Structure 1
């Protein structure tokens, strides 16, 4: 016996005839008849008796209908509970991201909390990468796809990188007409831990190595460029927050960087984490042109 058998029997009881039940179920009358006959055969008892008005339940049929109605009520109750859980989210969600994403995440997270005011967000931008597998955070924004089966990763976009300098710096510095000219310019960059990224290895290939400022924080690097300290490779989205910055050497192409939303498999099962993951994926898609530096 399965739920479909009981659902058919309930519909017959409520409709009063096989033909009316068939219309309610969206099938032909013969299908309802075959299902009822098969159910009676499996149970070894009569459930329905034909009468001039249609069909009526036997005592055994009435007993089974009471059981089926109770099961139906429990299923509906469970469904309502799931809908409430998805629609009325409550509790904390711990998010970790590089500081370069914070300016974008803040308004996105505010929009999410307008929808779900019961959710409390804890946003970390520590230089130390938090271990999602060990549940140091629930959801991470990453630029490297994680390895291992314990994590779920969803690619949500790409970051374009370009070379930038402030207008004031360019006015007073030596001409910058080709990549080879970078050797004569002051550079702003990331610390040793991040300097092996493909975007920075390209600078080394061009002979650029006179760094006057380094930091492990993307916002600090962008701020130093905005303060006229030199030239830097920056994500276009981050540079867009500083109107005084100008792209330089537009013919120089730097590698794109993938963006991933990452959670542990256990955290992904939590409705509020799953909801925020889906919401942030939508936000990244809406901001695709900003992330790619397309105006």
Structure 2
């Protein structure tokens, strides 16, 4: 039984469709359908029912799923063990992190790392999804979390602060904080006019308008003059068209960790990358923790 066939089987079983499995594995969906058809033919067993809604496991498929998952765990363990012995400062390095940190905070440092270590092929996976480091979906994760998983190792590199921002023109048009009439919060993730985070803010009676469930989208909406945005200081303070809404204090929001699997921590390129990014966070603590309001004044 071919391990690549099992990988495709597992992807379809987890994703529920050939197109979603193809996107997960980075291949064309026709390759997925052709390979799974051939796999079923070789095994002389139908593993999936092809339904209008997608692929559904048959009883035989469900039985194979348990065994294939165990094989996957063994293969991933072998790969991590081999990679963990690597003492070469070269090779591929897959790193996952949120877009706001990559684009607005770490990009110069990522570029510097790539220029300093040209034989390390850095692949940055921009996502809010939690990539599975145990399954080698990524080698390093920079995560916003208060409770990193126990099977991962690393370090807390900071705690980013948030503050309230609005465009310079928006603040000129509204007499905040004395008069809040006609002002709006830019909504995050609640459909109600006064979600919990609004009620706990300095302006609990300003209603919410719209929904932008992404920090970079919030930043863009605030710059365009939609209203007040509660965003990380490392996004708001460097923007010349934004100012903190008086009184302008920032507050701690979330911890940031840099993590890898315990089997990979001795890999030189992973150690080196984690050290470089940890140093970058340390050098930018003032920006991360909201001590650079003059940038947005």
Structure 1, gaps ≥5 residues long: 1-84
Query: Matched residue of 1:135: which SS?
Result: coil
From 231, 237, 244, give the equivalent of 2:228: 231
Q: Distance in 2 between matches of 1:131 and 1:87?
A: 23
Question: How many residues align structurally?
Answer: 204
The 5 A counterparts of 1:146-185 are 146-173=147-174, 175-177=175-177, 184-185=182-183
Query: Matched residue of 2:251: which SS?
Result: coil
Say if 1:189 and 1:233, in contact at 8 Å, map to a contact too. Answer: no
Structure 1 ranges of 4+ moved more than 4 A: 85-88, 181-184, 197-201
Compute the displacement of 1:288 (Å): 1.0
RMSD: 2.8
Structure with more of its chain in helix, by fraction: 1
Q: Distance in 2 between matches of 1:120 and 1:216?
A: 31
Q: Distance in 2 between matches of 1:183 and 1:150?
A: 50
Q: Distance in 1 between matches of 2:135 and 2:86?
A: 25
Distance 1:282 1:199, change over 3 A: farther
From 229, 245, 252, give the equivalent of 1:248: 245
Query: Matched residue of 2:255: which SS?
Result: strand
Q: Distance in 1 between matches of 2:196 and 2:267?
A: 35
Q: CA offsets, 1:128-184, max 9 Å, x none? A: 2222333321111112134442111311112121100001111223x2116xx6575
User: Match for residue 91 of structure 2?
Assistant: 91
Query: Matched residue of 1:128: which SS?
Result: coil
User: Match for residue 272 of structure 1?
Assistant: 269
User: Match for residue 294 of structure 1?
Assistant: 291
Distance 1:86 1:270, change over 3 A: closer
Q: Distance in 1 between matches of 2:203 and 2:173?
A: 25
What TM-score, normalized to structure 2?
A: 0.61
User: Match for residue 135 of structure 1?
Assistant: 136
Say if 2:144 and 2:256, in contact at 8 Å, map to a contact too. Answer: yes
Distance 1:124 1:288, change over 3 A: same
Select the structure of larger CA radius of gyration: 1
Q: Distance in 1 between matches of 2:249 and 2:176?
A: 12
Query: Matched residue of 1:222: which SS?
Result: helix
Structure 2, gaps ≥5 residues long: 1-84, 293-297
Say if 1:188 and 1:221, in contact at 8 Å, map to a contact too. Answer: yes
Query: Matched residue of 1:246: which SS?
Result: strand
Q: Distance in 2 between matches of 1:126 and 1:226?
A: 23
Task: Using the TM superposition, name which of 114-123 and 250-259 deviates more.
Answer: 250-259
Say if 1:183 and 1:210, in contact at 8 Å, map to a contact too. Answer: no
Q: Distance in 2 between matches of 1:137 and 1:149?
A: 17
User: Match for residue 116 of structure 1?
Assistant: 117
What TM-score, normalized to structure 1?
A: 0.61
